[in-house]
A and B are shown apart, each in its own frame.
Chain A
């Protein structure tokens, strides 16, 4: 039964655990959430093996055949994104208990974990579903719960950040809804595979072009593509630390997945990139994201905001890989989904440890932290090195592939952009390192974070090194995903 319903269980288990969180006594909610997150992670690994051995998996919800019923469809790309979401979710949640207790009002921890489980449900649902309207619904489930999660910080600015994200996110999701409606009007179907087939007959109509534009812009808002990124720095800065780590590592990745899925599976490469303008626009925007995002990161005072701007830059790398439109570029983009989740996860978790001890994440608070919190700062440095792309870390691998892809195209200036982006990353990471290791604080006492927070941070930091040395798993998955995306072109 478990193997037959594996895909559906990934969504159902967290979905049903969320109301249970509210029914059970509040002290059990963290335990339940931890158990569920790890169970889901285990099932995702099982699913990965199944996809590897059987190829594309398809699950018909309610026993209704596609294209009439909702189909869950899993191939190498979904499996990789689901692994990222479930993996980060599982690592982050043991960390959450103490961090949430410090940053969230005490009477609401059951609600916090219920919202977290719903966010997990939504993100997994987006990745697994093969139905465009279902994708919209899961997108809204994950978005609504992430607005709640962001607003839970005691600091009142979290409320404004959550509100701004709500307005932006709703506009993005509604754009997506308009696009889906126009496609449905032209084809009469909502199933992705069916849609891809039927769109070929009507693809020269203005309606389809309009739908395409709406979907691309809607997804770009959700993934914070420059210049639609302005909601993100506030949201990540003022959210509770766990939420920043979870959302930075998963939510934008899932939005990138949505864009990939629509461009390559639903519309098909030939349609999406028929006009050279679209490709050059994407390349231009991603280059701007890399340069402007990194430059803005340098001038930030708050380290969390610094990391958020660096996320804008890193998303630029992913879109750049996508827009290069060759196998290496897509491999780099999907690989960077995985690696960026690891490094941003590690960095935000390390910052959460500092926030727990110091109560803030302003750069001046980090004085002398290299001595006071050696393990946390070591994790931060490893994450930072990975962000820069130093050989031996995960970040190097994806940037290497990106550079190879640009080289294959013969577009030299892009390689220069990658190098400049990395140099800018050196500058902003160095600012933090300089303050933490070379400036003395008055208080020299050690104040290392508690073990339950230290272990997840260290696990993610070490994963950056592990996957920088042993690249088989992510590379294999990214490569098969990229082949699938390009092969699925009509």
Chain B
């Protein structure tokens, strides 16, 4: 944690922009380079920046560890759940074609959901890694 006002104000200015950019990479991922992995890491970097500047306690008050672990698990389940739904609809695992009326929108829906799952998990895992290391030597 820092007392430097320049750092604090710059961080306050940057964090929302980083988050916004992460969301852009997340939801524009089907058209341009990007997707859940990249977006997740960018989003996590915003939270890690917050933790570096304002202290790990402040960051883990926003995102407690128990919540992060649940979020990571939920992301994997969302990914797998899409696959299971497509199996229940009579296709193979992760066959997006059957998710909507026509194959093209089915692929769209499938990719958005799967990438959302990836994004949730990657964000959570990156933040968990940071918290675990940063919190370790606290008396």
Contacts and interface: CB of A to CB of B under 8 A. Distances in A.
Interface of A: 1, 5, 8, 12, 15-16, 18-20, 22-23, 59-63
Interface stretch (B4-12, B23-31, B34-42, B71-79): B71-79
B90 interface: yes
- Chain B interface mostly: helix
A336 to B, nearest CB: 33
A61 B92 contact: yes
Contact of B93 (A5, A19, A20): A5
A16 B84 contact: yes
Contacts of B96: 62
Given A8-B93, A22-B70, A63-B95, A1 B87 contact: yes
B86 to A, nearest CB: 8
Given A19-B73, A19-B74, 16 more contacts: A1-B87, A1-B88, A5-B87, A8-B92, A12-B93, A16-B77, A16-B84, A19-B76, A19-B77, A20-B73, A22-B70, A61-B92, A61-B93, A62-B93, A62-B95, A63-B91
Contacts of A19: 72-74, 76-77
Nearest to A24: B73
B93 A1 contact: no
Interface of B: 69-70, 72-74, 76-77, 80-81, 83-84, 87-88, 90-97
Nearest to A62: B94
Given A8-B87, A63-B97, A20 B77 contact: yes
Contacts of B90: 1
A59 B83 CA distance: 14
Nearest to B103: A63
B74 to A, nearest CB: 7
Nearest to A1: B87
Contacts of B94: 61-62
B123 to A, nearest CB: 15
B83 A12 contact: yes
- Shortest Cβ-Cβ A-B pairs, 9 listed: A19-B73, A63-B95, A62-B94, A8-B93, A16-B80, A19-B76, A22-B73, A63-B92, A23-B73
29 contacts: A1-B88, A1-B90, A8-B87, A8-B93, A12-B80, A12-B84, A15-B76, A15-B80, A16-B76, A16-B77, A16-B80, A16-B84, A19-B72, A19-B73, A19-B74, A19-B77, A20-B73, A23-B70, A23-B73, A23-B74, A59-B92, A61-B92, A61-B94, A62-B93, A62-B94, A62-B95, A62-B96, A63-B95, A63-B97
Nearest to A23: B73
A22 B92 contact: no
A393 to B, nearest CB: 41
A140 to B, nearest CB: 15
A225 B88 CA distance: 44
Contacts of B84: 12, 16
A111 to B, nearest CB: 9
Nearest to A59: B92
Contacts of A8: 87, 92-93
A305 to B, nearest CB: 31
Nearest to A11: B93
